[in-house]
Chains A and B, each alone.
Chain A
């Protein structure tokens, strides 16, 4: 009897967990398509809130800011991070472990603390607030992830392939572009997508570094939420969650979270 019931219960439990995880998102998406601005039922399908987005200048300009910053962040963090991963994993030197340990603070210290310390330091030194400051901050948050993702791949594929290439007469440059890079390509791709998502979804740091009048999409949404509910926020939030989940599905194609399964 127990043998028959246990698997059913197990599946039921996982289903409950999934419902809990996706319920609020589903409710929000439904409301984005509902006519009533006060979230009243009966549900009436309508696209007015999505249409309203295109007339909302502030949301449009902050979306553009977010996309520009995310793209710049992806480019910088992926290049610098891949270089650092190569340095950390292809050479043995004193202080290497310390350098790896230094990747932990940006990941583990709460963003609030990092955000206010950036605000203090940037303001104090004259770097100031603005899109450039937000970009500086986003790259800092993305770098450790890129270094870890690419580094994991480098650790799995030891230097033997490159050594073989060198033995066969390849110059270091040839060995890198013909051997190392193709091996790394999937993890670099995953890291780049990840860096894009980290920046596109980042709110806390942008919030402290955005001067009045300039904002990224999450900062703009937060301001609107604090001012009061508007169904347009549901519409833009629906789009954001689809984009950010889509990106993570792509990442999952190239990189397995939690190691081998």
Chain B
């Protein structure tokens, strides 16, 4: 019996260890290293001596320029998330409740296909549309349009999943008991689909506040946000500890959001 238990644990270890060691080396250790760097005066690379400091965090909370960047990222996240859900919800509702069979499958695939295709190329393709007489390229709104385009399919997906799991007979029951279509929607469909809406909010807001490629390509000089600011610290200014501190601030916000929503998220992923 002893041998069987040992063999069982050996099997579990052999199956899971390679994947998780890989994740440890490439995700969890690097994130820890990032946090460590954020408390240093300079990057301890090439024999340079670094000392502990809180200066980067103090700078973030006291210097107006960082606040401005952070606020603009936050604002961008709100705009993009709100617009995505506003457009996505009716589309998801139509797909889930009013389109049937093969048509639904085909339309659903058409909606989701751009989301899983190359994000860089899709962002670039907007420069073709927004340039010239349209005159929106390199504005704040170009960034918003590009990001709404990027995450709209995701919003439709999350809303659709929770909408299609609502039993139609529930709505029919409400209707036969005298509820108007609007009442049935407000009292039944909408509340029952909130997990999907919430999942959409998180899965869009989080990547948007961490985006830098879309603001850079579509926003030009208007790319004044945390994402491009962090990129700058690593590719232009070479102030890695400051970049690490700013990254950690985003990470902390992300983790707080995820923690608050983890029960809903887990249900969505299963």
Residue positions of A touching B, CB distance < 8 A: 7, 10, 13-14, 17-18, 20-25, 27-28, 31, 39, 80-81, 83-84, 86-88, 91, 93, 99, 102, 104-106, 108-114, 116-124, 136-137, 139-140, 143-144, 147-148, 152, 197, 200-201, 203-204, 207-208, 218, 221-222, 225-226, 229, 233-234, 237, 240-241, 244-245, 248-249, 251-252, 257-259, 261
Contact = CB atoms under 8 A, between A and B. Distances in A.
Q: How large is the interface on B (under 10, 10 to 19, 20 to 34, 35 or more residues)?
A: 35 or more
Interface string B208-237: 011111001100000000010011001100
B125 A258 contact: no
A19 B89 CA distance: 17
A121 B34 contact: yes
21 contacts: A14-B91, A17-B156, A20-B149, A20-B152, A21-B111, A21-B153, A80-B19, A111-B210, A112-B230, A113-B251, A120-B34, A136-B22, A136-B25, A140-B22, A234-B128, A237-B121, A237-B124, A241-B117, A251-B116, A258-B160, A259-B161
Nearest to B165: A259
B94 interface: yes
B22 A27 contact: no
B209 A110 contact: yes
Interface of B: 8-9, 11-12, 14-16, 18-20, 22-23, 25-31, 33-34, 37, 43-45, 87, 90-91, 94-95, 98-99, 104-105, 107-114, 116-122, 124-129, 131-132, 149, 152-153, 156-157, 160-161, 164, 203, 206-207, 209-213, 216-217, 227, 230-231, 234-235, 240, 243-244, 247, 250-251, 254, 258, 265, 269-270
Contact of A104 (B8, B213, B265): B265
A253 to B, nearest CB: 10
A118 B12 contact: no
B15 A84 contact: yes
A99 B16 contact: yes
B153 A117 contact: no
The 6 closest A-B pairs by CB, nearest first: A110-B210, A87-B15, A121-B30, A84-B19, A140-B26, A28-B125
Contacts of A18: 107, 110-111
Contacts of B240: 120
Nearest to A201: B118
B128 A112 contact: no
A257 B129 contact: no
Given A116-B230, A120-B37, A241 B116 contact: no
A102 B160 CA distance: 26
B30 A112 contact: no
Contacts of A104: 258, 265, 269
Given A116-B234, A245-B117, 17 more contacts: A13-B90, A14-B94, A14-B107, A20-B152, A21-B110, A39-B131, A87-B14, A91-B8, A106-B23, A113-B250, A117-B34, A121-B33, A201-B118, A207-B213, A229-B127, A234-B128, A258-B164
B111 A120 contact: no
Given A121-B30, A140-B26, A222 B213 contact: yes
A244 B90 contact: no
A59 B268 CA distance: 39
B118 A23 contact: no
B44 A124 contact: yes
